[in-house]
Amino acid sequence: MNGLMMHKQMLISSLIIHADRHHGDTEIVSRRVEGDLHRYTFRDCHRRARQLANALANLDVKPSDRVGTLAWNGYRHMELYYGVSGRGAVMHTINPRLHEDQVVYIADHAEDKYIFFDLTFLPLVQAIAARCTTVKAFVAMTDRAHMPEDCGIANLLCYEDLLEDSSPDYEWPSLDEDSASTLCYTSGTTGNPKGVLYSHRSTLLHTFAAALPDALNCSSRDTILPVVPMFHVNAWGIPYIACMVGAKLVFPGPALDGKSLYELFEAEQVTLSAGVPTVWQGLLGYVEQNGLAFSNMKRTVIGGAACSPSMLRTFQEDHGVQVLHAWGMTELSPLGTVGTLKSRHSTMSAIDRHAVQCKQGRAVFGVDMKIVDQDGAELPWNGQTSGELLVRGPWVVRNYFRSEDGNPLRIDGGAHGWFPTGDVATIDADGFMQITDRSKDVIKSGGEWIGSIELENIAMAHPAVSQAACIGAKHAKWDERPLLIVVRKPEADLTGEQMRMFYEGKVAKWWIPDDVVFVDAVPLGATGKILKNRLREQFGDHLLGGAH
Ligand code: ADP
């Protein structure tokens, strides 16, 4: 017997309809590429998203057609999120920090029909326009007054003109909730970028789960500033969550330096933010150098790469900002786990509590996870035994978009597939997962694994260290040994030997890096993560006495 409840399809358009109807006056504030601060409401956003949906019909964008964007976090990008997906086309956010060849590869692979771009990316569009064979036109996300002239792009349209010519009378179509809504490519640090194609249903379920109190804990009392870009796994779902809960949104546009961010946090009284660790370093540095404080910031989500204990301590103890350490992947929409404490942790000492919070956290409802050994046998949740992390759930990828490599899933018992994350982790008795490494970054010394993240976390706790990365460097006797690469803080004094001494008593002797290399900067990928493969290319032979 079936239940007798309505079978309303879960659609992205329902989020903006809800935001308009129940939180219509709530603001969306955006730093524009044009330089000024733009302010409007969810109601305005909904009206313009409907205008955009009509404009897309005039451009002959059909259901399932891909519409690409090269854009910062801002209100026009938000309108595209809803206008494109809402009318049944596929919103495809492209990371503009990628190399232009990769942008061309991605636009081509996705078969984007149009690409909308912020003016900042005009030089990129000029460089790629002729090579993007499926793209009918590029749309500059600006008004007529700011349109570039004689820029050599054959089919160039103006966003505000498109909207001006289109009516806001538009009825969002009733789509199948399983239809594709959004497309994101992995950043390609492990080969060619792969497309992850989300559905309306997977997006809505992810939004419900991500907003929960033990996840991002979002409500209509929040003002959320996503520093994480809308081209990095949909800003971790924040543009959807804000509509679901009616939170005020603040978009930083292109101004991501510590000073600009801090001023926006304060002016708009931001309560919650989210971003990768490298972004927070810039902000914390600015705040500390100028003796400033956050007046209303309550929580920040740190993910995409491990949050070091020193960063966690600085946020929580120096600034009273709670850190939500989260783990996820493009393939998980992205949220998998969040390090929110359980009530029994409240009686722990601050040091013990911090150690728990530095783990990547507990699975949010909907994501099931396990760790397995090399033969696929499940390993115990004892906080010690590490193995490959596998996940499954309704917002986990089943297959990549137009993939030639076959299904990535690991079939278990024939009934359910598990997605192999490529991460190596432990899980403790409370269900807190801790990443020790990505499988490709694991250091294998004499057949034993050394966790690079733990070695980096220790280095980051040294007062003279600004950034640290640990790689497996080739070694004549042990195959690989840890090599630490360090960026010192400005004017800080630190020798390799002092750095190595700092590890004494903190890890087993054989874990201590064999050598320390000081550099001016570490290479960062398109989403702000340290590119360890680049470091391995550069310093992999260092311990053999090779050139570097
Ligand atoms: P890419 O694989 O191109 O870096 P993603 O943004 O999808 O793109 O990265 C997902 C990976 O980032 C995870 O598999 C994991 O290795 C790493 N990661 C994400 N969050 C964390 C975290 N909190 N701690 C450590 N690693 C993390």
**pLDDT tens across 359-371, in order?**
999 999 999 999 9
Both tokens of 229, joined, read 């870009």
Q: Which residues line ligand 1 (CB under 6 A)?
A: 186-187, 189, 303-306, 325-330, 360, 421-423, 435, 438, 527, 529
Question: Quick count: other Cβ atoms within 10 Å of Cβ 386?
Answer: 20
**pLDDT tens across 262-280, in order?**
999 999 999 999 999 988 9
Instruction: Give the span between the Cα atoms of 69 and 80, in whole angstroms.
Output: 8
Question: Which atom of ligand 1 is found nearest the CA of 334?
Answer: 7
In the chain, CATH 3.30.300.30 covers 443-544
User: Could you tell me the distance, in angstroms and rounded to a whole number, from the CA of residue 169 to the centre of ligand 1?
Assistant: 41
Residue 501 has pLDDT above 60, yes or no: yes
Q: Using most ligand atoms within 8 A of CB, pick from 329, 436, 527 the residue to mutate for ligand 1.
A: 329
Which CATH entry fits the domain spanning 13-19+37-199+228-234: 3.40.50.1980, 3.40.50.1000, 3.40.50.12780, 3.30.2420.10?
Answer: 3.40.50.12780
Question: Which atom of ligand 1 is found nearest the CA of 525?
Answer: 4
Q: Does the model's pTM come out above 0.85?
A: yes
Stretch 379-406: mean pLDDT: 92
User: Could you tell me the distance, in angstroms and rounded to a whole number, from the CA of residue 478 to the centre of ligand 1?
Assistant: 28
Question: Which atom of ligand 1 is found nearest the CA of 529?
Answer: 4
* Strands (E) located in 207-284: 223-226, 248-251, 272-275
Q: Are 216 and 244 in contact (CB under 8 A)?
A: no
Instruction: Give the span between the Cα atoms of 143 and 141, in whole angstroms.
Output: 7
**pLDDT tens across 16-66, in order?**
999 999 999 999 999 999 889 999 999 999 999 999 999 999 999 999 999
The values of phi and psi at residue 542, to 5°, are -55, -40
Q: Are 189 and 525 in contact (CB under 8 A)?
A: yes
Ligand 1 atom 10 nearest Cα: 329
Instruction: Give the span between the Cα atoms of 498 and 432, in whole angstroms.
Output: 33
Distance of CA 465 to CAs 55, 459, 503, Å?
Answer: 51, 7, 13
Instruction: Give the span between the Cα atoms of 451 and 439, in whole angstroms.
Output: 10
Q: Which residue has the tokens 């640290």?
A: 468
Instruction: Give the span between the Cα atoms of 469 and 474, in whole angstroms.
Output: 16
User: Could you tell me the distance, in angstroms and rounded to a whole number, from the CA of residue 305 to the centre of ligand 1?
Assistant: 5
**pLDDT tens across 151-200, in order?**
999 999 999 999 999 999 999 999 999 999 999 999 766 567 899 999 99
Q: Which residue has the tokens 């042990």?
A: 478
Question: Which atom of ligand 1 is found nearest the CA of 331?
Answer: 7
- Could you please report the per-residue DSSP string of 530-546? B-HHHHHHHHTTGGGT-
DSSP category for residue 307: P
User: Could you tell me the distance, in angstroms and rounded to a whole number, from the CA of residue 529 to the centre of ligand 1?
Assistant: 9
Q: Which residue has the tokens 């917002």?
A: 395
Q: Which residue has the tokens 């003109």?
A: 161
User: Could you tell me the distance, in angstroms and rounded to a whole number, from the CA of residue 107 to the centre of ligand 1?
Assistant: 23
From 278, 357, 342, 345, select the one nearest 312 (Cα to Cα): 357
pLDDT of residue 412: 60
Both tokens of 499, joined, read 């750095």
From 229, 235, 224, 44, select the one nearest 120 (Cα to Cα): 229
pLDDT of residue 312: 96
In the chain, CATH 3.40.50.12780 covers 13-19+37-199+228-234, 256-439
Domain 256-439 grouped into CATH 1.10.3210.10: no
Domain 443-544 grouped into CATH 2.60.40.10: no
Q: Are 401 and 195 in contact (CB under 8 A)?
A: yes
Instruction: Give the span between the Cα atoms of 456 and 349, in whole angstroms.
Output: 24
Q: Which amino acids are annotated catalytic? A: 186, 331, 444, 449
